[in-house]
A and B are shown apart, each in its own frame.
Chain A
């Protein structure tokens, strides 16, 4: 058989030929065998890879399912750590989240998994207290790149600060991957194994996908938190809204019921004349003002916070519009609430700058404390609100503390308010007319229309009792336009029945709210045209304060009115801000001297000087002057001598009802020559 060499192929011996054939067949068999083994090896490798891939997909699917079903980030992370550790057989997994306090740092989330924690104790405790800057260590690298990373052998890695302890605890290999939303890394997961392990690129791909699934949970949780925040906060100021405030207040009431020694207080704040800002400067300016004020109040509370004892808590909320509330919880003494309210008031002392305008704001503040023994949140809110209304009624820019008498007052006001609404429908308003007299001739030149509320029982309510309420509730706008139309109607009739060389005039008071109606000028023009009186015979009486908030806006309105021909009087001159520079700019025709100066003519030594000053001023500005509240011959004489042109007051006539005014006109008509 040793002769079986290729040379034998040439042999013609049949036995050799046969042996050769056998040899060839054996070779062929061997080739087939090698091919079969290779094919089996390839198939086994394929099966093994497929199995691995299926396992990885199962892992991905398991984690994705958990991520979709859970709303807790911690719970999902914990699940993922355990699942990955179980899948890989790696002993320790840990989660990092971006630091809430230091930018570009990762801190341990306190969420980790270890199959045998006791064994890894030293490394786990070091890991749980180690933060990483971006780019630092394994987590920092993943944070920076947004991609998974693998370290086959920690001892050979130059950027692994925990290496010494890791190796002592028996950790040699590591991998980590990012929790991703888009390109944002919202967390990093890292894992450790006790032996060196080479990188598994396919598995790193699966880990990247797991990171994206985990990102969904974080993203969903964030969206939920944002929804929760939005639902409980005011979008304009970012302060808690009514919902959150009520919730906290209810909690405080419940706590107080359980433990009466734990007191609380509600401060109710309403900005004074805020509507004027919205009406005159526009809503965006009003919004900026609210934001500014929210900031100031917050600052006050931060400062107060330092003074509060431990446990005492403060919530500032915006309920809506210009209403803010504060809840003080766990307060030891109720006087703290008043101190806080006073500090809030003080914080508005300096002007606010809105759109380059200097604005002064003030607030009416009501305080109610738990000392009154509340059992429900709505009651203390109502009482703080009542106290706030009292502060408004008492002249605004002040703090009032709730007491029981406010309840009675509130009921009275409520009744009055509903009566007032009905009064318009029931036509209970009537006009009285006070004659205005020319001091040179002692002739009646016109009247001031004064509104009276005559109830169905004949009882007359004085303006001082219902005008402030009408102003506050906005009913003044309707009352005002009724007064304007009605007095013009009367004036037209009188001008027709009692014609004169200089036609009778009618002075009509305009309230601030009426003045700031956007179509105020059109209302006046329409009413004048409808009545048919010459525009110059209507005198609109406006208080100085109306023009203070936004002088430019006021000047515009006054000029349009004067262009039409209507005359404008400045009412109660000298009692308000009386800025001479304003007076100079504002297009008035007539100036009315307040009754307080007139009555001081005799009682005070300087009374005459003030009136004289006003008269000189009016003369220089070329304004007519009407003195109000003349009650005696002396007043009239002095005023006449000083150069005052007109007067009204009890000396001439008290306000008259329509019949009496007509009576007066008929009497004077007989003595005066008809035109």
Chain B
């Protein structure tokens, strides 16, 4: 996992719960905690941190990831305003992730393993999103989409039809924007 994700998690936790809580999480998770956005760190560390947070805050890991994704989006906008500038809705922003955002991420961090999302528009005008990754972080994606909607001041409803965390071989979410 790229170091920037750890940085964002730290920022989100510090902002909401204070620096001490982050220090505790690092201790609980048993990780060193010196992360730079330029580095690349074992996926196990993020899992350990999320689990530690879940235990401390009495939440599920999925909830922590959703919360984190939503919190991270404004922070991302602060760091990388160019990703957001061409869009006027979270729908177009989300749909651009494969073609615009991930290629930019690869420019910055050669070898970044970005997931690929299979988007499809439904007859009702909703978007289904297929996700398949050994990281099984569909909840983070869920949170990111929520956060993106927040940035564009939109309401969005996300349903998990199938989920790798519940034994499915891939995740399928349906995103419904409230009009």
Contact = CB atoms under 8 A, between A and B. Distances in A.
Interface of A: 36, 40, 43-44, 47-48, 51-52, 195
A47 B36 contact: no
B148 to A, nearest CB: 21
A47 B37 contact: no
13 contacts: A40-B38, A43-B38, A44-B37, A44-B38, A44-B108, A47-B107, A47-B109, A48-B107, A48-B108, A51-B106, A51-B110, A52-B107, A195-B86
Contacts of A43: 38
Contact of B36 (A36, A51, A195): A36
Contacts, number: 21
Contacts of A195: 86
A650 B37 CA distance: 126
Contacts of A48: 107-108
Interface string B88-112: 0000000000000000001111100
Given A40-B38, A51-B106, A52-B107, 14 more contacts: A36-B36, A40-B36, A40-B37, A43-B38, A44-B37, A44-B38, A47-B38, A47-B107, A47-B110, A48-B107, A51-B107, A51-B108, A51-B110, A195-B86
B98 to A, nearest CB: 14
Interface of B: 36-38, 86, 106-110
Contacts of B86: 195
Contacts of B107: 47-48, 51-52
A36 B107 CA distance: 20
Contacts of B37: 40, 44
Nearest to B34: A36
Contacts of B38: 40, 43-44, 47
A180 B38 CA distance: 41
A47 B138 CA distance: 29
B36 to A, nearest CB: 6
A537 B110 CA distance: 108
A22 to B, nearest CB: 12
B10 to A, nearest CB: 10
Nearest to B3: A40
A314 B108 CA distance: 67
Contacts of A52: 107
B122 to A, nearest CB: 25
Nearest to B100: A89
Nearest to A36: B36
Contacts of B108: 44, 47-48, 51
A58 to B, nearest CB: 13
A36 B36 CA distance: 8
Q: Which of B86, B106, B110 has the most CB of A within 10 A?
A: B110
Nearest to A51: B107
Contacts of A51: 106-108, 110
A47 B39 CA distance: 13
Closest 4 CB pairs of A and B: A51-B107, A40-B37, A48-B107, A44-B108
A44 B38 CA distance: 7
B18 to A, nearest CB: 13
B109 to A, nearest CB: 7
A452 to B, nearest CB: 101
Contacts of B36: 36, 40
A36 B6 CA distance: 14
A230 to B, nearest CB: 51
A52 B37 CA distance: 19
Contacts of A40: 36-38
A36 B37 CA distance: 9
Nearest to A49: B107
